C-alpha cells in the first residue's frame, strides 16, 4: 500500500459525487494522491481491481441506507485480502448508525466530514467513530481528477454544484428531521444539540471560483444547484451571489426551493434575484395532495393555496418548474379521515393537472415511492403504526422500486398502532401485491398523465381495469380517453388529436403519435424515438427528451442567442451592402 494515496468510492450516479469531490479537494490540499471509483449495480469486482492496481493506503466510501449491506460484505472481503488498508465510511447511514457501521470500517465519520478527514489523514485521529465537531470551509472540489477518470461526467452538458448544507426544514422522511437521540449511539453526541448536518454556507467567492473552473475547462450548458433550498438569505448572500455569478460565470442554472419561499414581497424579491442571476428552472416538492397528510405525517404544513399562488408566480417569472411527490405513504393513522392508498396517489395527479390548467405549470411532475429509512421520524412512525417492521435490509437503493410497506384497507385514525397485528384491517397479500404494482406503474407514467387533460381519470381507468401494465395498453386507454373528451367538445383534446395526426405525417408511428402529442415540443420528440422498437429504448429516449429539450433547456437563453445571431447577421448585411 502506498502512503498518502486515497481511493474515494460511491455508488454510480449520473450526478457527480459532490461530497467526495470536496473531500478529495481536502486530500489534495494535504498533499495526498487521489482516485475515484463509482460502483455500478453493487458489482464490486472492478472496485477490487482498482484497489489491487492503485494500492491506496486509505479507502473512503459514501454509504447510504440501501447500499449498506452490500458495502459491509465488500469491505469484509477487502480487509481479508488487504488487512493493512484503512477504511473510512461517511454519509447518511454512518451518521445515523455509527455503531453498526464501525463493524466494517476503521473510521466512521458522522455528519460533515471535513474536520474529521483532515485529522485522520494528518494522523492525529485514532481509529474510532468521529461525531460532528465544527463546520469547516468547503475545500475547492477535486473535479479534474474525477473528470479525467469519468469522461462521461466531464462531457455532460449539465454540471452540479452545491452552495450550502443544512436544510432548515424538518420533513419527517428526511434524515434532517432526526436528532442526536435518534441515532444508534446517542452517547457519542453528548453536548451536540440540534441538527446532525449543520448549516454550512459557502462564501460566494468560492462558488464563483468553482463556476469559472467548470465553465473554462469542461463543456457545460447548464448548472444544477443541488442545495436543498437555494436562495434562503435574500439580504446578504443571494444579492452578492447574483451580482458575481451573472457578471463572471453567467451560466444558466436550475435549483431547488420550497413553496413558502415564493410567498409575499420577500418571495417576489427572491424570484427576481434568481432570474437576474440566470436561474431558469426550479424544483419544488408537493409530496402529498392532502393537507392533513402533509401536516401530520410529513411535517410540511403549507396549504394548497400557497402552491397555486406560488406556481402562478413562478410561471409568470418564466421559470421551468418540476414538482416532486411521494407516493405509497403510510396512510390511515391521521387525526382526520384522508384518502387512502391508490386514491391518495391519484389525487397527486389531479393536483398537478389542476395546477397546470389554472397556472400553466408544472413543466414536469416527478414521483417516487416512499422508503421507510430507519432513523428518520417517518421511518419510526411506520414501525410504530404497523406499516413496516423490517430492519432496512429490504430497502431498495432507489426510489423507483415497489413499496416495501404494508397498508391498511381503510382509514383507522390515531389508534392504528393498537391494531397493527389485526390482519383484518390490513391489505391481504394479494391485495397488497396488486396495490404495489399499481403504485409502481403510476410512478412510471406519472409525468405523462399529469400532461393530459383530466389525466387523473385516465390514470385511474388504466390502473384499475387494464389487463396488463405496458405501453400498448396505456396507448389504448389514452386514445379512448381523448376520443371521449373530444366528443364532449373539450378543446384541448381536439387540439391534441389534430397534433397527433400531424405527427404521423412527420414520421411518428400511429400507436405512439397520441402519446407524443401530449409531450412538450412534440415534433422534436418524434425525431428522438424514430427507429426505436422496444419499450425500454422508447422510454429512455422520451426521458432524455423531457430533460434535455424541455426541463433543462433555457429557452430564454436560446432566444437571446438567436436574437444576438440575428442582430449580428443584420450588422453583417449592413456592412456588406455599404
Amino acid 574: pLDDT: 25
Q: What is the pLDDT of residues 306-337, one digit of tens each?
A: 999 999 999 999 999 999 999 999 999 999 99
Amino acid 246: pLDDT: 98
Q: What is the pLDDT of residues 361-377, one digit of tens each?
A: 999 999 999 999 988 99
Q: What integer best gives the mean pLDDT of the chain?
A: 92
Answer whether 0.85 is exceeded by the pTM. Answer: yes
pLDDT surpassing 90 at residue 48: yes
Mean pLDDT of 132-141: 91
Amino acid 557: pLDDT: 55
User: What are the helix and strand counts (H, E) for the chain?
Assistant: 23, 14
pLDDT surpassing 70 at residue 566: no
Amino acid 398: pLDDT: 66
Q: What is the pLDDT of residues 479-494, one digit of tens each?
A: 999 999 999 999 999 9
pLDDT surpassing 80 at residue 14: yes
Q: Give residue 568's pLDDT band: very low, low, confident or very high (50, 70, 90).
A: very low
Q: What is the pLDDT of residues 418-464, one digit of tens each?
A: 999 999 999 999 999 999 999 999 999 999 999 999 999 999 999 99
- Domains detected in the chain: 2-137 (3.40.50.280), 491-550 (no CATH)
Q: What gap in Å lies between CA 345 and CA 287, rounded to an integer?
A: 10
DSSP string, 299-312: -----HHHHHHHHH
- Residue 292 in contact with residue 335, Cβ under 8 Å? yes
pLDDT surpassing 90 at residue 561: no
- Consecutive H or E run containing 108: strand 107-109
Q: What gap in Å lies between CA 509 and CA 514, rounded to an integer?
A: 9
Q: What is the largest CA-CA distance in the chain?
A: 89
Picking from 547, 576, 460, the residue whose alpha carbon sits closest to that of residue 283 is 547
Q: Give residue 559's pLDDT band: very low, low, confident or very high (50, 70, 90).
A: very low
Amino acid at each position: 500500500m502506498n502512503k498518502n494515496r486515497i481511493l474515494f468510492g460511491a455508488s454510480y450516479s449520473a450526478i457527480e459525487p459532490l461530497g467526495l469531490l470536496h473531500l478529495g479537494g481536502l486530500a489534495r490540499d494535504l498533499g495526498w494522491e487521489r482516485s475515484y471509483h463509482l460502483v455500478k449495480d453493487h458489482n464490486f469486482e472492478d472496485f477490487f481491481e482498482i484497489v489491487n492496481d492503485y494500492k491506496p493506503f486509505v479507502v473512503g466510501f459514501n454509504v447510504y441506507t440501501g447500499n449498506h449491506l452490500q458495502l459491509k460484505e465488500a469491505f469484509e472481503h477487502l480487509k481479508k485480502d488487504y488487512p493493512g488498508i484503512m477504511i473510512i465510511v461517511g454519509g447518511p447511514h454512518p451518521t445515523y448508525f455509527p455503531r453498526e457501521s464501525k463493524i466494517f470500517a476503521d473510521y466512521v465519520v458522522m455528519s460533515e466530514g471535513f474536520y474529521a478527514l483532515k485529522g485522520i489523514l494528518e494522523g492525529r485521529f485514532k481509529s474510532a467513530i468521529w461525531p460532528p465537531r465544527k463546520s469547516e470551509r468547503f475545500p475547492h472540489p477535486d473535479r479534474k481528477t474525477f473528470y479525467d477518470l469519468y469522461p462521461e461526467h466531464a462531457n455532460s452538458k449539465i454540471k452540479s454544484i452545491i452552495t450550502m448544507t443544512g436544510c432548515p426544514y424538518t420533513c419527517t422522511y428526511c434524515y434532517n428531521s432526526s436528532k442526536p437521540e435518534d441515532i444508534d449511539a446517542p452517547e457519542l453526541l453528548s453536548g451536540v444539540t440540534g441538527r446532525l448536518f449543520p448549516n454550512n454556507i459557502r462564501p460566494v467567492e468560492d462558488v464563483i471560483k468553482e463556476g469559472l473552473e467548470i465553465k473554462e475547462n469542461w463543456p457545460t450548458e447548464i448548472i444544477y444547484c443541488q442545495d436543498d433550498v437555494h436562495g434562503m438569505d435574500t439580504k446578504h448572500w443571494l444579492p452578492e451571489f447574483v451580482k458575481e455569478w451573472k457578471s463572471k460565470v453567467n451560466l444558466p442554472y436550475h435549483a431547488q426551493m420550497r413553496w413558502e419561499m415564493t410567498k409575499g414581497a420577500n418571495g417576489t424579491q427572491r424570484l427576481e434575484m434568481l432570474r437576474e442571476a440566470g436561474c431558469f428552472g426550479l424544483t419544488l416538492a408537493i409530496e402529498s395532495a392532502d393537507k392533513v397528510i402533509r401536516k401530520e405525517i410529513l411535517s410540511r404544513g403549507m396549504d394548497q393555496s400557497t402552491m397555486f399562488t406560488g406556481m402562478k408566480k413562478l410561471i409568470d417569472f418564466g421559470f421551468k418548474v418540476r414538482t416532486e411527490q411521494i407516493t405509497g405513504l403510510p396512510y390511515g393513522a391521521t387525526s382526520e379521515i384522508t384518502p387512502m392508498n391508490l386514491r391518495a396517489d391519484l389525487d397527486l395527479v389531479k393536483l398537478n393537472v389542476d395546477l397546470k390548467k389554472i397556472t400553466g405549470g408544472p413543466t414536469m411532475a416527478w414521483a417516487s415511492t416512499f422508503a421507510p429509512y430507519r432513523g428518520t421520524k417517518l421511518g419510526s412512525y411506520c414501525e410504530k403504526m404497523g406499516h413496516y417492521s423490517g430492519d432496512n435490509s429490504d430497502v431498495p437503493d432507489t426510489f423507483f422500486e415497489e413499496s416495501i410497506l404494508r397498508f391498511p384497507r381503510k382509514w383507522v385514525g390515531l389508534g392504528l398502532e393498537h391494531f397493527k397485528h389485526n390482519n383484518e384491517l390490513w391489505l391481504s397479500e394479494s391485495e397488497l401485491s396488486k396495490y404495489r404494482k399499481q403504485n409502481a406503474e403510476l410512478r412510471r407514467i406519472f409525468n405523462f398523465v399529469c400532461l393530459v387533460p383530466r389525466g387523473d381519470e385516465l390514470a385511474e381507468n388504466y390502473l384499475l381495469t387494464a389487463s396488463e401494465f405496458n405501453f400498448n395498453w396505456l396507448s389504448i386507454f389514452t386514445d379512448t380517453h381523448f376520443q371521449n373528451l373530444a366528443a364532449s367538445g373539450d378543446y384541448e383534446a381536439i387540439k391534441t388529436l389534430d397534433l397527433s395526426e400531424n405527427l404521423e405525417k412527420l414520421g411518428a408511428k400511429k400507436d405512439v403519435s397520441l402519446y407524443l402529442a401530449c409531450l412538450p415540443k412534440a415534433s422534436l420528440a418524434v425525431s428522438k424515438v424514430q427507429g426505436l422498437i422496444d419499450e425500454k429504448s422508447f422510454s429512455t429516449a422520451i426521458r432524455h427528451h423531457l430533460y434535455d429539450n424541455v426541463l433543462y433547456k433555457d429557452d430564454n437563453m436560446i432566444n437571446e442567442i438567436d436574437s444576438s445571431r440575428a442582430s449580428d447577421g443584420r450588422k453583417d448585411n449592413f456592412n456588406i451592402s455599404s
